[in-house]
């Protein structure tokens, strides 16, 4: 498991190797390999460059991820080739945790989204405002539960900075699409952290395929 701050990315399971991708491609000709060769490496490069994605879908990974709600809501938009199961506040009403900000960023002047450099938190006002809102939300949440309100309804007062946790399974190709978008410099910083940790794990398990998929 790798963590940055209180965000976590843990590889739970994986299936296949670079050779699995090659075998999925070569089965058309009734061929199968046991060890990678230079020709197999060239084949993987060709497949990635020409968008022959189906052989890469025969390799898969499963992650457990812990991140704030606002990050999860960006990543869940990636649906093709991926399966998502998340902790539910309909059933869990304890252990509420909030994202720990390591730096505040400024609003860009010339565009509507993104951020621009580090913002100095003068007198700790930004952190104070965040903590004040989170504490008030948590107290409201606990108060609603004490009044007998159903957790599925009481959860509506919890902010997007609340941490959530999910299992994310998918094909190698699908995670490459995620990382090609979310590891980019214009992706949100917090989302980029999660994507970069996924990127590292995929690169360890499928070094040849991952290099080519990330270069396309």
Between helix 18-26 and helix 207-215 the angle, nearest 10°, is 80
Active site (annotated) includes residue 182: yes
As a whole number of Å, the CA-based R_g of the chain is 21
Q: What is the DSSP letter of 17?
A: -
Task: Give the integer Cα–Cα distance in Å for 83 and 198.
Answer: 15
Structure tokens at 96: 């509420």
Task: Give the integer Cα–Cα distance in Å for 52 and 121.
Answer: 48
107-124 per-residue burial string, b: 16 or more CB within 10 A, e: under 16: eeeeeeeeeeeeeeeeee
| HSE-CB of 27 using CA atoms within 13 angstroms | 9
Of 155, 177, 182, 192, which residue is the catalytic one?
182
The helix/strand count (H/E) of the chain reads as 8, 7
Place of tokens 């059933």: 91
84-105 per-residue burial string, b: 16 or more CB within 10 A, e: under 16: eeeeebeeebeebebbebeeee
Residues catalogued as catalytic: 182
């Amino acid at each position: 498991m790798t963590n940055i701050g209180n965000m976590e990315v843990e590889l739970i399971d994986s299936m296949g190797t670079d050779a699995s991708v090659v075998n999925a491609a070569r089965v058309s000709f009734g061929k199968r390999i046991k060890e990678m060769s230079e020709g197999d490496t060239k084949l993987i490069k060709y497949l990635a460059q020409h968008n022959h994605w189906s052989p890469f879908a025969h390799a898969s990974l499963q992650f457990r991820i812990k991140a704030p709600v606002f990050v999860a809501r960006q990543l869940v938009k990636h649906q093709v080739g991926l399966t998502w199961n998340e902790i539910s506040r309909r059933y869990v009403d304890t252990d509420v945790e909030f994202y720990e900000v390591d730096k505040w960023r400024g609003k860009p002047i010339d565009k509507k989204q993104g951020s621009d450099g580090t913002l100095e938190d003068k007198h700790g006002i930004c952190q104070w405002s965040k903590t004040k809102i989170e504490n008030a939300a948590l107290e409201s949440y606990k108060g609603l539960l004490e009044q007998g309100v159903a957790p599925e309804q009481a959860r509506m007062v919890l902010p997007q900075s609340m941490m959530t946790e999910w299992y994310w399974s998918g094909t190698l190709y699908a995670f490459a699409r995620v990382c090609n978008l979310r590891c980019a410099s214009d992706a949100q910083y917090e989302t980029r952290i999660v994507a970069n940790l996924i990127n590292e794990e995929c690169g360890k398990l499928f070094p040849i395929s991952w290099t080519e998929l990330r270069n396309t």
